[in-house]
Structure 1
Amino acid sequence: MKTDWIGYHQNKDLLRTEIWSLLKQQAASIGDCFGHIPNFVGADRAAEKLATLPIWQQAKTIKCNPDSAQISVRMRALQDGKRLYVAVPRLTDARCFVELNAADLQRQNVSIAESALALAKRSEGKPAPTGAAPTKRIARKALACGKLVSFAEMEPIDLVIVGCVAAGRSGGRTGKGAGFADLELAMLTEFGLVQIDTPIVTTVHPLQIVADSRLPMQPHDWPLDWIVTAGEVIETNTSYPRPTGLNWDSLRSEQLAQIPILRKLNEPRRR
Structure 2
Amino acid sequence: AEIAAKNLAKLDIFRKASVIKVNPDAPQKPVRYLALVMGKSVIMPTPRLRHGFILLDPNTIPSSKYSEAATIHGAFKYGKITKPWDLPSVDLVVVGSVAVNMQGARLGKGEGYAELEYAILRTLCKVSRDTPVVTTVHDIQIVDEPIPVEEHDVCVDIIVTPTKIHYITPRPPKPNGILWSKIPQEKISEIPVLREVKKFLESKKTYVCLITLMFI
Confirm or deny a common fold (TM above 0.5): yes
Could you say what the CA RMSD is over the residues aligned between the two structures, in angstroms?
1.9
TM-score using structure 1 length: 0.70
Residue 235 of structure 1 aligns with which residue?
167
Distance 1:75 1:64 in 2: 10
The CA deviation at 1:263 is: 2.0
Question: Are 1:111 and 2:65 an aligned pair?
Answer: yes
Distance 1:79 1:234 in 2: 25
Question: Are 1:258 and 2:190 an aligned pair?
Answer: yes
Residue 174 of structure 1 aligns with which residue?
107
Distance 2:58 2:34 in 1: 10
Distance 1:229 1:151 in 2: 30
Structure 1 segments, 4+ long, off by >4 Å, are: none
Letter matched to residue 65 of structure 1: N
Q: Say whether the 8 Å CA contact 2:54–2:75 is kept in structure 1.
A: no
The CA deviation at 1:238 is: 4.0
Unaligned runs of 5+ in 2: 204-216
Letter matched to residue 223 of structure 1: C
Q: Say whether the 8 Å CA contact 1:110–1:142 is kept in structure 2.
A: no
Residue 194 of structure 1 aligns with which residue?
127
Question: Are 1:76 and 2:8 an aligned pair?
Answer: no
1:185 to 90, 114, 118: 118
Distance 1:251 1:263 in 2: 12
Distance 1:252 1:180 in 2: 14
TM-score using structure 2 length: 0.87
2:6 to 48, 59, 62: 48
SS at match of 1:48: helix
SS at match of 1:230: coil
Residue 17 of structure 1 aligns with which residue?
none
Q: Cα 1:238–1:255, aligned 2, differ >3 Å: closer, same or farther?
A: farther
SS at match of 2:148: coil
Question: Are 1:163 and 2:96 an aligned pair?
Answer: yes
User: Which string of whole-angstrom CA distances, capped at 9 and with x for unpartnered residues, describes residues 52-79 of structure 1?
Assistant: 1111111010000011101110110000
Residue 100 of structure 1 aligns with which residue?
56
Q: Cα 1:195–1:212, aligned 2, differ >3 Å: closer, same or farther?
A: farther
Q: Say whether the 8 Å CA contact 2:157–2:171 is kept in structure 1.
A: no
SS at match of 1:246: coil
Q: Cα 1:77–1:157, aligned 2, differ >3 Å: closer, same or farther?
A: same
Q: Cα 1:239–1:160, aligned 2, differ >3 Å: closer, same or farther?
A: closer
The CA deviation at 1:239 is: 4.9
User: Which string of whole-angstrom CA distances, capped at 9 and with x for unpartnered residues, describes residues 151-199 of structure 1?
Assistant: 2221100000001001011110111011000001001011100011100
The CA deviation at 1:84 is: 0.5
User: Which string of whole-angstrom CA distances, capped at 9 and with x for unpartnered residues, describes residues 201-237 of structure 1?
Assistant: 0000111101251x11001001100000000000012
Residue 9 of structure 1 aligns with which residue?
none
Percent identical among aligned pairs is 38
Paired residues in the alignment total 202
Unaligned runs of 5+ in 1: 1-42, 120-138
Distance 1:178 1:236 in 2: 24
1:211 to 131, 144, 148: 144
SS at match of 1:111: helix
User: Which string of whole-angstrom CA distances, capped at 9 and with x for unpartnered residues, describes residues 74-94 of structure 1?
Assistant: 11000000011100111112x
SS at match of 2:43: strand
Question: Are 1:150 and 2:83 an aligned pair?
Answer: yes
Q: Say whether the 8 Å CA contact 2:69–2:79 is kept in structure 1.
A: no
